[in-house]
Chain A
Amino acid sequence: MSNIALRLAWRNLWRYPRRTWLTVGAMIFSNSLLVFSISLQFGSYEMMINNTLQAFTGHIQVQREGYLDDPKMRYVLPDITAMADRLRSSLDSNQIAARAAGFALVSSNDRSYGLQILGVEPEFEPFVSTIPGLIKQGRYLDKDSDEEIVIGSVLARNLKVKLGDEVTFLGSGRDDSFAAGVARVVGIFETGSADLDRSMAQVSLAYFQDAFTMGGSGHSITLRAATIDEVPMLKQRVKTLIAGRDKLVVLDWEVLQPGLKQAIQADMTSAWFMYGVLIILVAFSVLNTQLMSVLERTREFGTMMALGLKPSNLARLVMTETFMMASLGLAIGVFIGYLITAYLSVVGFSYPGMEEMADKFNLPDRMYPNVSLLSLTLGPGIVAIGCLLAAIYPALRLYLLLPIEAMRAV
């Protein structure tokens, strides 16, 4: 398109500055809103994922096939420590830890509760889970921990035990034999999630294997990736590494925590419904403006056609005008959206009732939107496309124009 055509389109826009600004204003409003809320969405999803996975689940777990759906004691990974060591050296990463889990009735002098006991590798567990770092009293397990146990703060309160007290646990071992032990409470953790604090106890893997007649086996190897984006790659590498082993599966967080993924999906669906409404409203605004601008220029277009312009030239003119408006709306909208979001991503924000909701989703009490290139451009990009689509009808109307009639039009 020649330079003069661009100039013509640009000047046409400013024949009625108020109308152009109102149309662009709708875009700016929607774009800044979209930038803000998409950034917020991405930010909170990331936090939800990280906080949920970092607490305990990790990004990837290697398990025996079937263990996820039905965690039976006998679905084991044999020689689990050796396997974890091999993974650690092959992947050159510390964020890999072996675990075993069993159900037991844990009793103090006063109380008994049935709960999950976890056998962990004390030297590696801190790299895959935040729980070891959340010890509020005493210390975490160490390499030589034997007959030592750490429990959650709510459980400690319910069992009425304090540091140094002994608890007994009763359960069944891998071979359905009677499993029992007496362990001293060396640490009490507090994650803030009442569920975890009520229902978890950890002992060292070696001690667990001993008490529950596991031999050298365990139930899962938990891995953490540097970032969530690296999970698929890491999963692939682990798969290759364990390829020869029978009946083992590599599961990522989406499978381990299907609720998390689906909660995000459900939220995405409703969010995109709302964004869709906004985008369509902006498109209507553009449709109206451009249709009116085409209709009121009928005479002018007639003259131009009489001068030898083809309808396609005129249609391109209208599309160029729309494109200019959309670009203006995009630029200003993204800029304003960026300013708001960047500001809030530093100071954070909260709203009434958020504390309770944040608790439920493992989120902090203040939200920090996450500004990224994608969150900045995704919404506004779709708005711009929507606007261009909306201008197609007015542009097509130009093909119906007959020069003489058009020139007579008022």
Chain B
Amino acid sequence: MNTGVFNIPFKAMLTLSWRNLWRNYRRTLIMLAAISMAVWAMIFMTAIMRGMVDDMLHQGVANLPGHIQIHHPGFRDDPSVVNSIDAPGGELLAALNDSQTKSWTSRIKVPAVISSERDTRGISLLGVEPESENRITGIAEQVVEGRFLEGDDDRGVVIGLKLAERLETRLGKRVVIMSQDPDNNIADRGFRIVGLYKARLEALEEVNVYAARGTLQKLLKIGDQVSEIAIIDKDFRDIESLYAKIKAATPDNLEIRAWYELDSYLSSMLNVMDGFVLIWIIIIFLALSFGLVNTLMMAVFERRREIGLIQALGMRPGMIVYQILLESLLLLLIGLSIGNALALATVLPLESGLDISSVAEGLAMIGAGSVLYPNLRLDDMILANVVVIMLGTLTSILPAWHAARLDPVQAINST
């Protein structure tokens, strides 16, 4: 006498559910359209937002630049030449040259004033070792006119296009750069502009001026000292082990910081984004759930005679629930497949970049570039699918339970 739910061949239930689904094909199609579109919207929007935040992160990390930085403890608050540090040596140098580090460089970063014949601007003067700097920032590829610096004692400077425009100067012209040495004496000298670069964020072009590290060390009279050591790992999201290792090798009188400590806006964006994705998916699901419950309720209502009949034939109430849930699950699965396919079909062609330069300055304000690269993440897709399946099934319990509670006698006799 004990027929448990799972003693009944799954296939029989599947057949019944599948055929029931297509009895009212109009309704099923409308519902499928709704589910597909909801799933598409969940994934598409998430990919776009992820892409934007990723871009902000990449830009932000690129602007720092370096996933991990080592400074004089006073440098971040007071970025002066006084707060310089010795070039890495000993244990730290060994840790930096370890294979786990993707790349590292040391640079000078001081506030300075640049003057052309026409105008004067405040800038951030960077003294870099061209080769290792390029490995970290890719600055050499951003040079659109002339060349990037060559060697540690190059006597030229590379400035941004925008800055050149502001200074009314051009490639090959001379500019005077003025800063101060640790004794607060004005240190200035003329440089020839050997290259112009174009950055993804225009604001950077106005601020960052590149000169050779050795040349600046001489100008500023700081021997072989530098302002910061910048290190990059393979993936900036996963730097903990490298961070711990370098931290252990860093002398106690230096400050070491990871990117998320250097820019709390970026790291909080990353966290807010995870929350946003979940909320977005759930809101869309909730809007969808009303239609889902309604559809199943209608299906149950239309078939109440039949449900009464199979109850009379000896189907346990649990089995009725099972059958309605299966029907809902089938509906959800088809909707999900179409929705996922649509999302892939719309996001993948955009992965080469979506031009949204009409709002470029607005995006620059939040730290994103003007070309959007949607980022379709597997875990987001899984999240969307799991939410729809789990909550969808959960929501379907209401109509299913309603069906199981139908009084067979009334159901059979109803018109």
Contact = CB atoms under 8 A, between A and B. Distances in A.
Per DSSP, chain B at the interface is helix
A229 interface: no
Contacts of A313: none
Contacts of A359: 265
A22 interface: yes
B374 to A, nearest CB: 12
A39 interface: no
Interface string B361-387: 111111100000000000000000000
B211 to A, nearest CB: 16
B186 interface: yes
Given A262-B358, A281-B38, 20 more contacts: A22-B290, A26-B290, A110-B82, A112-B180, A114-B123, A115-B122, A260-B365, A262-B362, A262-B363, A266-B362, A274-B280, A277-B41, A281-B284, A281-B291, A288-B34, A288-B291, A351-B275, A352-B271, A355-B268, A361-B366
A288 B298 CA distance: 10
Interface of A: 16, 18-19, 22-23, 25-26, 29-30, 33, 70, 72, 103, 105, 107, 109-116, 157-158, 171-172, 199, 258-267, 269-270, 273-274, 277-278, 280-282, 284-285, 287-289, 291-292, 295-296, 351-357, 359-361
Contacts, number: 184
A22 B297 contact: yes
Contacts of B361: 258-259, 262-263
Interface stretch (B24-32, B214-222, B232-240, B319-327): B24-32
Contact of A19 (B31, B275, B298): B298
Pick the 3 closest A-B CB pairs, nearest first: A262-B362, A114-B122, A263-B362
Chain A at the B interface: mostly helix, strand, loop or mixed?
helix
A279 to B, nearest CB: 9
Given A33-B283, A280-B37, A356 B290 contact: no
Contacts of B269: 353, 356-357
A353 B359 contact: no
Interface string B167-202: 000000000001110001010000000000000000
Contacts of A261: 362
B68 to A, nearest CB: 20
Contact size class for B? 35 or more
Contacts of A357: 265, 268-269, 272
19 contacts: A16-B301, A18-B297, A22-B290, A23-B290, A111-B82, A158-B77, A172-B115, A261-B362, A262-B358, A262-B365, A282-B287, A289-B294, A292-B24, A352-B268, A352-B271, A353-B268, A353-B271, A356-B269, A360-B265
Interface of B: 24, 26-27, 30-31, 33-34, 37-38, 41, 45, 48-49, 77-80, 82, 111-113, 115, 119-123, 165-166, 178-180, 184, 186, 264-265, 267-269, 271-272, 275, 280, 283-284, 286-288, 290-291, 293-295, 297-298, 301-302, 356, 358-367
Contacts of B37: 277, 280-281, 284
A327 to B, nearest CB: 18
Nearest to A115: B122
A384 to B, nearest CB: 15
